[in-house]
Each structure stands twice: as structure tokens, then as C-alpha cells.
Amino acid sequence: MSTTNPSPPTALTIAGSDSGGGAGLQADLRTFFAHRVHGMTAVTAVTVQNSVGVQGFTEIAPEVVADQIRSVATDIGVGAAKTGMLASTGIITAVAGVLDEVSIGRDARSPFVVDPVAASMHGDPLLREEALEAIRSELIPRATLVTPNLDEVRLLAGITVTDTDGQREAAKALASMGARYVLVKGGHLRGATDCLDLLYDGTEFTELVGPRYDTEHTHGGGDTLASAITAELARGSTVPDAVAHGKRFIERCVADSYPLGSGIGPVSPLWRVRES
């Protein structure tokens, strides 16, 4: 029996494995699947992780990370790509080099979303401190979109955000590092009753406001938002449309989150599978 199904859109995540299955490339693949997008992986690190934290991780050799990207890009093709945990300067430099080779990036054929993951929500480091400079100088200038949370804004731009004006200042600082679009996520703003994310295109700001759900089970939330945006870009959406979609998508995933183990459970895209 043969099939003649058309090939679906494709997306690549350049990210770490979360053995607990809540965040990292496991969350990205789940999210791509929920968008009917074929997901591919360039594994950067293998974390030893459960619901209470990250107990350790092993990095993949930089040339093996680059080879994974080259292999899928030259054969299958990459509709859009995103980064998650990148662990080290060596991996970031190798990724930046191969992206140019296979035409993934802000001025290239395929859009590129940089989620500048620095630590888990438990505070466990996922990036060596000295690698922040490589994120600034090698990845952000290649980004179609960069999606920092407020901790990552502080680390990357040295700005402590306490209100929407601070989010605007941070967005401008990251755009000046070379990103085409910047999404400054306000989810970590203390005391806020809603959740305001700010999109900046270098000229104008768009405020995306949504509800704040009363749950602690938000493990993998950042990864899921960035991969929902990446999936929509792979399907051909513009950045503003993909971001607006991602915001609605992650809200449903947070509302659908569940407890797991004795710690923090993950957000979940299962609602979309149920509805389709």
C-alpha cells in the first residue's frame, strides 16, 4: 500500500532534552505536532531533570550539534527554527556558523526564533555564564525574533524591568543588538493581575494582554510559546500574526497544565489534540 500524502511544514528545535518531559525539546516537539508541523531536533544537551529541578546535564559536542542542523537542513529542509537551551559558547558559535551555511536567520530564507534560555524556573543554570556574550553577539543579530523573559532581559541587557515602560526600554535594547523583532514577556512581573507581553518591530510596540492563571504548573511555558510561534512561522505566518497566535496558544496550554511528581508540572497542548 502506498500513500501520496503531501509533506507537512517543517520546524527545527535546537535545544536540550528534559528527561521529565515537561520542557526542552520534548515540549517543542509536542507543540510542533499540535500544529501539524513535522518537528526535527538538534540536541544540544541532555539534562537529568524531574519535577523538582535539574540535577545535572551533559553537553553534546558543538560539531555534533552543527552536523544535526546541516543534516536535516540539506535534505528535509527547515521551514523555521528555534533555539532553547544552548549550554555553552562553543555550541552557540557552532550553531551560528551552520545557520549561515543553510540560510536560517533574520535575513535568510527560514525564520529563526531565539529563546535565550538561561535557567530553569527552579533557578538551575542551563547556560554557562560566559556564554551570555555569545548569545548577544552571535545569536541575537541573526534572530528574526527574540523572546526573553524578564530574568533573561536582566542578564542580556542589564535592565531590571518593573513596569511596561521598563519592558519598552528592554525591547529597544535587544533590538539594538540586532534582532528583527523582540517579544519581552511580562509573565514574571510581580503583582500584575494580567499578563502583558510586548512586541517591538524596531519602530512600533504592540501590547499583547491576556489573563494570568492561578497555577504553579507552568514548566515548559517559555519553550511552548516560542515553539508555537515557530510552528506558525513554518506555516507561513508573519511574525506579528505568529506571536498573536502563540500568546493565545500558550494561554490555553497554561489553563490545561497538570501536576506531575512532587514539584512543578508542565503546560500542555493536549487541548488542541482533543479539539481537532
Backbone φ and ψ of 112, nearest 5°: -135, 120
Nearer to ligand PLP, 8 or 47 (CB): 47
Q: Which residues bind ligand PLP (CB under 6 A)?
A: 15-16, 18, 23-24, 47, 49, 84-85, 117, 120-121, 126, 219-223
Q: How does 213-239 read in b/e, with b if 16+ C-beta sit within 10 Å?
A: eeeebbbbbbbbbbbbbbbbbbbebeb
The Cα 154–Cα 21 span in angstroms is 28
User: Sign of dihedral through CA atoms 72, 233, 153, 175?
Assistant: positive
Nearer to ligand PLP, 47 or 268 (CB): 47
Residue nearest to ligand PLP (CB): 24
Q: Name the minimum Å distance from CB 203 to ligand PLP.
A: 29
Q: Is 229 left (phi over 0), alpha (psi -120 to 50) or beta?
A: alpha
Nearer to ligand PLP, 117 or 157 (CB): 117
Which residue reads 527552579 in cell numbers? Answer: 122
List the one residue out of 30, 27, 6, 29 whose CA is nearest residue 18: 27
Nearer to ligand PLP, 24 or 39 (CB): 24
Q: Name the minimum Å distance from CB 68 to ligand PLP.
A: 16
* CA 59 distance to own-chain centroid: 19
Q: Name the minimum Å distance from CB 79 to ligand PLP.
A: 21
Q: Name the minimum Å distance from CB 136 to ligand PLP.
A: 18
Nearer to ligand PLP, 10 or 257 (CB): 257
Nearer to ligand PLP, 23 or 199 (CB): 23
Q: Name the minimum Å distance from CB 182 to ligand PLP.
A: 18
Q: Name the minimum Å distance from CB 39 to ligand PLP.
A: 15
Backbone φ and ψ of 250, nearest 5°: -70, -30
The Cα 80–Cα 236 span in angstroms is 9
